[in-house]
């Protein structure tokens, strides 16, 4: 097969070679995941070590998964050392044990897992996940390695269904969450061109194509009034598109 090699000379493990999924976990239990990996198409040394790492912000956990020739991936990855209040990302590493012990031969970075309900991870513009938020009902998480996430407290299992079906919950929660993302989008509207920050371009495209906002967000030098006006127009466009007020009125009739 044709190998992809990045600027460091390291082989990039293709997304088609692995699958990582989050599993259902009871309230109070650590997060859990399941992983599968196929490396037979690569020309790695049989004795090279394979490692899967899970991380959220500054917390992380490493799982030794045997060697290329003898993979031994745990049946369940119990993430009891990873902060469970937000999204979890993964990386896969193949590490040399022979010619240059410790040298990183290949990796897959910033892996977003599939969710426990089967939603692939994740092409949704604004994915929803469920975590232990203690006393918070919801929050928005924006970290450099991932697109914005709407996190709901998993102690309120009914909120998952009400967010999909209850216009009142939608009307109170979604526009407020949207504002959080838009404020971050304006905070660095130019971005830095990094692949991990491509969510900004996705959101700009969404605002234009779906919400009818012709102009890009004001840059950092713009006035506060211009920034507030742009955010207000996007939120109004969102509420109009999804008929939030009308749906709430119909719910009351």
Higher pLDDT, 233 or 123: 233
The CATH number that applies at residue 15 is: 2.60.40
User: pLDDT tens-digit profile of 159-198?
Assistant: 888 998 999 999 999 999 999 999 999 986 655 545 555 8
Kindly state the average pLDDT of the residues 210-224. Answer: 87
Domains of the chain: total: 2
Do 23 and 97 lie in a common domain?
A: yes
| Residue 221 and residue 144 share a domain | yes
Residue-range definition of the domain harbouring residue 59: 4-117
Percentage of the chain lying above the pLDDT 90 cut: 62
125: in domain? no
Q: Are residues 89 and 194 in the same domain?
A: no
Given 82, 117, 152, which residue is the final one in a domain? Answer: 117
Q: What is the 3-state secondary structure (H, E, C) of the chain?
A: CCCEECCCCCEECCHHHEEEEEECCCCCCCEEEEEEECCCCCCCCCCCEEEEEEEECCEEEEEEEEECCCECCCCCEEECCCCCCCCCEEEEEEECCCCCCCCEEEEEEEECCECCCCCCCCCCCCCEEEECCCCCCEEEECCCCCCCEEEEECCCCHHHHHHHHCHHHHHHHHHHHHHHHHHHHHHCCCCCCCHHHCHHHHHHHHHHHCCCCCCCCCCCCCCHHHHHHHHHHHHHHHHHHCCHHHHHHHHHC
Residue 165 falls inside a structural domain:
yes
Give the pLDDT of residue 1. Answer: 46
Question: pLDDT tens-digit profile of 101-160?
Answer: 999 999 999 898 887 654 444 457 898 888 889 899 999 998 876 789 999 998 898 888
- Predicted pLDDT at 232: 97
- The verdict on residue 133 lying in a domain is no
């Amino acid at each position: 097969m044709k190998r992809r090699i990045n600027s460091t000379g390291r082989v990039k493990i293709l997304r088609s070679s692995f699958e990582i999924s989050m599993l259902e976990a009871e309230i109070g239990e650590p997060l859990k995941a399941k992983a599968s990996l196929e490396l037979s198409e690569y020309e790695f040394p049989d004795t090279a070590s394979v490692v899967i790492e899970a991380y959220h912000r500054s917390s992380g956990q490493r799982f030794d998964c045997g060697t290329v020739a003898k993979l031994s991936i745990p049946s369940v990855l119990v993430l009891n050392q990873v902060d469970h209040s937000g999204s979890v990302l993964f990386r896969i590493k193949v590490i040399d044990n022979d010619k240059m012990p410790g040298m990183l031969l290949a990796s897959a970075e910033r892996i977003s897992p599939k969710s426990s309900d089967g939603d692939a991870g994740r092409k949704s513009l604004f994915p929803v996940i469920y975590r232990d938020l203690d006393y918070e009902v919801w929050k928005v998480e924006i970290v450099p390695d991932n697109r914005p996430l709407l996190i709901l407290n998993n102690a309120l299992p009914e909120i998952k269904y009400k967010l999909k079906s209850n216009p009142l919950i939608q009307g109170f929660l979604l526009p407020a969450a949207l504002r959080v993302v838009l404020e971050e989008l304006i905070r660095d509207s130019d971005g830095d061109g990094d692949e991990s920050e491509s969510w900004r371009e996705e959101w700009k495209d969404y605002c234009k194509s779906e919400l009818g906002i012709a102009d890009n967000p004001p840059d950092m030098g713009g006035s506060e009034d211009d920034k507030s006006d742009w955010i207000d127009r996007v939120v109004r466009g969102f509420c109009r598109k999804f008929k939030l007020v009308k749906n709430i009125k119909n719910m009351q009739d």
